[in-house]
Amino acid sequence: MEELSSGKQMAKIRNFEKGFMATHFINLGAKLGIFESLNKNKEGVTASDLASTLGLHEPYVKIWCETGYYFEILDSDDQGRFKLQPFLGEILGDKTHFKNYLANISLTADLLGKMLPEFPDYFRTGNLMDIFESAETSKEVYDTTKNIPLVFLFMIFPKREDLNQSLEQGIKLLDIGCGNGNLIIQLAQKFSKSKFVGVNPDRFGIEAAKKTIAKLGLEQQITVKNIGAEDLAHTEEFDMTTMVVTLHEIPPAVRSKAIEKVYRSLKSGGQFLILDLMYPSTLEDFRNPMYDYGVLDQFYEACIGTVHPNRQEQDDLLTKAGFKNIQRMPIGKGIFAFITAEK
């Protein structure tokens, strides 16, 4: 291990501060439409032209562009034209790309920016914060996670032809924690012979799902319900159940009951597919980059009652409920664990 010094420790803290500023810098660029404009102008655009196109104050835009160059988000040519660095078009510019990260930045800067100043009171009292207290907040959360279901479509399904075949032939699928219905809506559009049921305890998410389902004319294929998994009343009805970044969100007090209800709702031989963040099992693993997302998610969701289960705890939950043949594979360079189990 490299010997530490006061200077190195100060540089580390300053780097954290720089990251804070970069997050807000990106969020500002997203709100002003700068990233979209830069993405359309692949060869580059001057700060003056950016300001003129977007109706912004030119001196401020010039400072923004120069700061973007400092952060190594932008490059520039000898004509003073700024452009996004390679690959940042899909990450910051194109909001339709499944790798686009702007919603995550917005969640961090806007939603967490409002929550974090309240944390001291919650840390003192142990009370829980209700983040789904408004339709607006609910939408912010789902906007952030809207691309996660695409992990199924682009990173899991291509490797699991058996899943594709089952859905193409026609099955009944249950999605636990369906949010605003993003995953089951996309699956319904792709697999017309299958039927889908989504459940979610957030009423705003369910209301949004119902509107989209009606707009797309998918009422015969999709049903959504405003309940948690612990309140499921189905018995041997589904061929497949999915749970996308939801297991850690189920309150520990009802988590076992929820998994048992999922087990009961599946037909014999039915499959349970779980995608969730990786969480460390040992203290040493907290410094393993593989667990970055899980560790940070646990920190900022602690005050809303989130408790991330580690690998052994996940396996124990499934085994206790009766599931067998539990398998897992890392997804997205280890950010997610894709877990499968059978009834």
Tens of pLDDT, residue by residue over 176-222, are: 999 889 899 999 999 999 999 999 998 888 999 999 999 999 999 99
Q: Report the alpha-carbon distance of residue 218 to residue 212 in Å, rounded.
A: 9
CATH 3.40.50.150 residue ranges for the chain:
131-342
Written out in words, the top-level CATH class of the domain with range 131-342 is alpha beta
CATH 1.10.10.10 residue ranges for the chain:
6-113
CATH of domain 6-113: 1.10.10.10
Q: Which residues contact 26 (CB under 8 A, 6 or more apart)?
A: 35, 73, 92, 102, 105
Residue range 16-56, pLDDT digits in tens: 999 999 999 999 999 999 999 999 999 999 999 999 999 99
Say if residues 109 and 283 touch (Cβ distance below 8 Å): no
Q: Report the alpha-carbon distance of residue 190 to residue 188 in Å, rounded.
A: 5
What integer pLDDT is reported at residue 132 of this predicted model? 63
Angle between helices 203-216 and 135-145 (to 10 degrees): 70
Q: Report the alpha-carbon distance of residue 200 to residue 180 in Å, rounded.
A: 9
Q: Report the alpha-carbon distance of residue 87 to residue 80 in Å, rounded.
A: 21
Average pLDDT, the chain: 92
Q: Report the alpha-carbon distance of residue 275 to residue 287 in Å, rounded.
A: 22
* Structure-derived torsion over alpha carbons of residues 190, 209, 231, 132, reported in degrees to the nearest 10: 130
Residue range 145-156, pLDDT digits in tens: 666 777 777 778
Listed residue (200, 332, 206, 328) closest to 274, CA to CA: 328
Q: Report the alpha-carbon distance of residue 103 to residue 180 in Å, rounded.
A: 15
In which region does residue 290 sit, left (phi positive, over 0), alpha (psi from -120 to 50) or beta (all else)? alpha
Kindly report the pTM of this predicted structure. 0.86
pLDDT band at 144 (very low <50, low <70, confident <90, very high): low
